[in-house]
């Protein structure tokens, strides 16, 4: 916690990269230092500062590898469908797999459910890279739903009434998943659930929600293209309407917190720690010197 005579700033217990993002960045840096022609499909993480830095070290971002004949492809933390990995290897491309171990466990959970005869249902965003990776790990089509409305829509075309096996996008909020699963209970005879929500994500969400309830203003720091940051900000807003989402200290308008005595700060899992620290310092510097603490 940091406190001045007029304001206290409380930081969430954990800010900065999660271990999966740290691991992916380290593996990419190692590949860049040891190999030539390192490229990646899409962004390694959803943070421009980080991707700019890696591109400065030589990482090439490509939308498709069909024109790549050699080189090294980094698989990002969200994973990649297995047929795409196999296809790249067939083309003679080396692969550095930075898929987060927790995402790999979600893929394995979906495979287990499929093998045991369940219709796999994934609660998640069908356009997210992680979900595409999980779908690519399965032999048969899975159903992907991200809201109760989508579940009802799917019921018309999918046979949901017998055995379904459910997993969750690793970065999803338990609150959202719970409400969808409750609805499924009214539609199906047998449901097996494997909780694939990432523990670091859940800990951060729980911590941020506790914090949001105690403060006059909650600030969530991270990219607007980062799904977990956007979701964290939405959750905090649900518990404290006075929540703002900023990408960095430059986006902070001092007017927003000029009358706030207690300000909380949390961050997404792909937000560099120094960006969060810069936000904390800015909130403090607009007041006579305070002190800071952890939640
Ligand atoms: S949020 Fe969780 S699943 Fe995603 S990269 Fe970080 S540790 Fe892995």
- Condensed to tens digits (0 to 9), the pLDDT of residues 235-265 reads 999 999 999 999 999 999 999 998 899 999 9
* The ligand 1 atom nearest the CA atom of 101: 8
Q: Tell me: pLDDT of 4 over 70.
A: no
Q: For atom 2 of ligand 1, which residue has the closest CA?
A: 198
Closest CA to 258 of 294, 234, 282, 224: 282
* Confidence (pLDDT) at 101: 96
* Confidence (pLDDT) at 292: 61
Closest CA to 172 of 124, 139, 100, 224: 124
- Could you count the other beta carbons within 10 Å of the beta carbon of residue 13? 14
* Confidence (pLDDT) at 140: 92
Domain boundaries, the chain: 2-17+199-294, 19-99, 102-193
3-state helix, strand, coil in the chain (%, to 5): 45, 20, 35
Q: What is the 209 CA–ligand 1 centroid distance (Å)? A: 19
Ligand 1 and 170: CB distance under 6 A = yes
| pLDDT band (50, 70, 90) for residue 46 | confident
- Could you count the other beta carbons within 10 Å of the beta carbon of residue 29? 15
Q: What is the 106 CA–ligand 1 centroid distance (Å)? A: 11
Residue range 138-152, pLDDT digits in tens: 999 999 999 999 998
Residues acting as catalytic residues:
130
Average pLDDT over residues 36-54: 89
Whole-number percent of the chain with pLDDT over 70: 93
| pLDDT band (50, 70, 90) for residue 290 | very low
Whole-number percent of the chain with pLDDT over 90: 70
Q: What is the 270 CA–ligand 1 centroid distance (Å)? A: 9
Q: b/e map of 129-149 (b: 16 or more CB within 10 Å)?
A: bbbbbbbebbeeebbbbbeee
Ligand 1 and 198: CB distance under 6 A = yes
Residue 181 CA to residue 101 CA, distance in Å, equals 25
DSSP-derived letter for residue 147 is S
235: CB partners within 8 A, 6+ apart:
173, 175, 205, 208, 209, 212
149: CB partners within 8 A, 6+ apart:
none
Q: For atom 5 of ligand 1, which residue has the closest CA?
A: 20
The top-level CATH class assigned to 19-99 is alpha beta
Residues, the chain, total?
295
Residue range 105-130, pLDDT digits in tens: 999 999 999 999 999 999 999 999 89
Q: What is the 204 CA–ligand 1 centroid distance (Å)? A: 12
Ligand 1 and 103: CB distance under 6 A = yes
Residue range 47-96, pLDDT digits in tens: 888 899 999 999 999 887 777 668 999 999 999 988 889 988 988 899 99
Q: Are 222 and 208 in contact (CB under 8 A)?
A: no
Q: Are 78 and 112 in contact (CB under 8 A)?
A: no
**Position of tokens 């979906």?**
110
Ligand 1 and 222: CB distance under 6 A = no
* Confidence (pLDDT) at 160: 59
**CATH domain 102-193 topology:** Cobalt-precorrin-4 Transmethylase; domain 1 (3.40.1010)
* The ligand 1 atom nearest the CA atom of 21: 5
* Token pair of 237 as six digits: 């807003």
Shared fold status for 2-17+199-294 and 19-99: no
* Confidence (pLDDT) at 289: 43
Ligand 1 and 184: CB distance under 6 A = no
**CATH domain 2-17+199-294 topology:** Cobalt-precorrin-4 Transmethylase; domain 1 (3.40.1010)
Q: For atom 4 of ligand 1, which residue has the closest CA?
A: 20
136: CB partners within 8 A, 6+ apart:
80, 81, 82, 83, 84
* Confidence (pLDDT) at 79: 92
* Token pair of 251 as six digits: 């986006």
* Confidence (pLDDT) at 287: 57
């Amino acid at each position: 916690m940091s406190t001045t005579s007029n304001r206290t700033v409380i930081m969430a217990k954990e800010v900065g990269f999660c271990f999966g993002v740290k691991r992916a960045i380290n593996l990419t840096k190692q590949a860049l230092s040891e190999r030539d022609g390192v490229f990646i499909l899409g962004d390694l993480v959803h943070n421009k500062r980080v991707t700019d830095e890696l591109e400065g070290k030589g990482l090439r971002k490509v939308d498709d590898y069909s024109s790549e004949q050699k080189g090294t492809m980094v698989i990002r933390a969200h994973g990649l469908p297995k047929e795409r990995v196999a296809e790249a290897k067939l083309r003679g491309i080396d692969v550095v797999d930075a898929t987060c171990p927790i995402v790999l466990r979600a893929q394995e959970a979906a495979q287990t459910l499929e093998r045991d005869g369940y219709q796999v249902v994934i609660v998640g965003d069908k356009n997210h890279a992680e979900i595409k990776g999980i779908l690519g790990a399965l032999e048969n089509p899975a159903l992907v739903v991200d809201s109760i409305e989508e579940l009802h829509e799917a019921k018309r075309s999918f046979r949901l009434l017998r055995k379904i096996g459910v997993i969750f996008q690793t970065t999803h909020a338990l609150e959202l998943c719970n409400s969808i699963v409750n609805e499924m209970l009214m539609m199906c005879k047998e449901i097996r659930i494997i909780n694939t929500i990432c523990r670091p994500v859940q800990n951060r969400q729980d911590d941020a929600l506790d914090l949001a309830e105690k403060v006059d203003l909650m600030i969530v720091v991270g990219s607007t293209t980062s799904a977990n940051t956007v979701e964290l900000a939405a959750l905090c807003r649900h518990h404290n309407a006075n929540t703002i989402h900023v990408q960095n200290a430059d986006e902070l308008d001092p007017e927003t917190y000029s009358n706030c005595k207690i300000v909380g700060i949390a961050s997404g899992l792909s937000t560099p720690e120094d960006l969060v620290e810069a936000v904390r310092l800015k909130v403090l510097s607009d007041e006579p010197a305070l002190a800071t603490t952890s939640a």
